[in-house]
Amino acid sequence: FSVDVINEMLEENPVGLALRIVSMREAVAGHETLRRRVSNLDWTRDPELSISVNLELSRPDRLEALAANIPQLMMSLAQKDVVDEHFSFIAWRPRKRSRPMLIPVPQNTVEDAMEAILEEMDSSEEEIVEPIVETVQEVIEEKEIVSPEPIVEIEAEAASEITVIEEVPEAVEEVDVVPEAVEEDEDVEEFVPEIEIIEPSSPENPIPSDGDSASLVKLLRALGLEDEANLLEDNEDLSLVRRALASHVGIEPRDMRLDRLLRLALRLIPNGDESDGKKLSLLATLADLADGLSKWTRTRLEARHNGSEGVLLNDAIALGKALERTPGPGTMVPLDADEFELPASDDTEGLANEVNVLKRRVMLSSSGGVR
């Protein structure tokens, strides 16, 4: 678009520009509809006038006036004779931004996938190392209590010096205590290998006992990940959920709102702390938003006479490709990967705010009966 006049308005009358900016944005959003209306006029009667109309199509500040002037243009052209019957009017349209060529990369190199894997590794290492270190420290403390050297010294001194014989009864009492300490040491040493044994079948990151996997299962089903939802119900392995969600992050062209939803879900997976209750509540909200996006995507596909699979992740890709070829009416949906910097997984309040922002963006204004 040509924004020279808008830049001049910004310098000379910024308040007036601020009052008009909303109507300009609405006019730009309806640019395709305006192009169709202008193209339907009979420009063979006045080719020169079509040039000035095309210039107005390239100026956001003139779109609203041009739309209001179409009835007058229609009447004016109807009163004129045909000047060039072979003239073909081509309406000006904004140039589409060139997109870089996308090269397939392994999905496990996605940033969110790496973050999820690193968090999973850190949590599992802490669970294994901490109990072993505590047990080894207990063994060392027990061994420090047991000191067989004084026993040897007592026996040697008892054999060589008569003055030490008076202290022998006390030494004997210490000798009686030593076997008990040794028995405790033996019990601890037998218990250490049991701690080091880790069964691979146990889930690495189970859902906390006071949590509920229903919201996670609902989210997976809303996205179309039925197999992962069934496995989560069986073994409650959160690492499986992380891998499943991370593998679908960053796909283009696709509705950016779905990408934001997946990235938020990765950060809201419970970690076994006191914030898990709030995170599970936010995951339930994301599941409801996924249901809404699924219905919206299916409606848009059916309006374009494209079949819907009923799987949000697949339908969103199909709609993204269709919208990239032919943008639809109403609000333009961003089709790029979501690169917005989200709060960390431990910032529950920040994540709750981002979920509310996404909730407002999921509900779009209607156009032609379709949101």
How does pLDDT run across 108-143, given as a tens digit for each residue?
445 666 676 666 666 655 555 455 545 545 545 554
Instruction: Name the domain boundary from 78, 93, 116.
Output: 78
Instruction: Name the domain boundary from 46, 78, 110.
Output: 78
Whether residue 235 lies inside any domain: the answer is yes
Whether residue 157 lies inside any domain: the answer is yes
User: Could you give the 3-state DSSP secondary structure of residue 237?
Assistant: strand
pLDDT for the residue 98 = 53
Same domain, 12 and 159: no
pLDDT digits (tens, 9 = 90+) for 15-41: 888 888 888 888 888 888 888 888 888
Per cent of the chain over pLDDT 70 is 65
**Is residue 235 pLDDT above 60, yes or no?**
yes
Same domain, 224 and 355: yes
pLDDT digits (tens, 9 = 90+) for 193-203: 444 444 444 44
C-beta separation of 304 from 238 below 8 A: no
Residues contacting 15, CB < 8 A, separation 6+ = none
The whole-angstrom separation of Cα 180 and Cα 58 is 94
Same domain, 209 and 343: yes
Of 261 and 53, the one with more pLDDT:
261
Instruction: Scan for tokens 């898990």, then name that residue.
Output: 276
C-beta separation of 97 from 60 below 8 A: no
Whether residue 156 lies inside any domain: the answer is yes
pLDDT for the residue 284 = 92
The whole-angstrom separation of Cα 16 and Cα 91 is 29
Whether residue 369 lies inside any domain: the answer is no
Same domain, 167 and 218: no
State the pLDDT confidence band at 157, using cuts at 50, 70 and 90.
very low
Same domain, 320 and 223: yes
Average pLDDT over residues 324-353: 86
Same domain, 189 and 331: no
Whether residue 118 lies inside any domain: the answer is no
pLDDT for the residue 302 = 87
pLDDT for the residue 76 = 86
pLDDT for the residue 174 = 41
Same domain, 50 and 175: no
**Is residue 367 pLDDT above 70, yes or no?**
no
In this structure, what are the phi and psi dihedrals at residue 253, rounded to the nearest 5 degrees? -80, 135
Whether residue 107 lies inside any domain: the answer is no
Of 101 and 352, the one with more pLDDT:
352
Of 248 and 304, the one with more pLDDT:
248
Whether residue 112 lies inside any domain: the answer is no
Same domain, 19 and 41: yes
**Range of weakest confidence among 56-60, 135-139, 182-186, 273-277:** 182-186
Q: Which domain holds residue 184?
A: 124-196
Q: E strands of 148-252, at which residues?
A: none
**Is residue 207 pLDDT above 50, yes or no?**
no
**Is residue 52 pLDDT above 80, yes or no?**
yes
Same domain, 166 and 227: no
Same domain, 241 and 266: yes
Residue type, 110: V
Average pLDDT of the chain, as a whole number: 74
Instruction: Name the domain boundary from 47, 78, 109.
Output: 78
Average pLDDT over residues 281-307: 90
Same domain, 214 and 313: yes
Radius of gyration of the chain measured on its C-alpha atoms: 36
State the pLDDT confidence band at 7, using cuts at 50, 70 and 90.
confident
Residue 252's nearest CA partner among 316, 327, 184 is 316
pLDDT for the residue 327 = 80
**Is residue 100 pLDDT above 80, yes or no?**
no
> pTM of this prediction?
0.46
C-beta separation of 351 from 313 below 8 A: no
Of 268 and 176, the one with more pLDDT:
268
pLDDT for the residue 156 = 40
Highest-pLDDT range among 201-215, 244-258, 294-308:
244-258
C-beta separation of 354 from 343 below 8 A: yes
3-state helix, strand, coil in the chain (%, to 5): 65, 0, 30
Whether residue 99 lies inside any domain: the answer is no
State the pLDDT confidence band at 212, using cuts at 50, 70 and 90.
low
Number of compact structural domains in the chain: 3
Average pLDDT over residues 51-62: 85
In this structure, what are the phi and psi dihedrals at residue 328, rounded to the nearest 5 degrees? -95, 180
Same domain, 357 and 260: yes
Average pLDDT over residues 149-169: 41
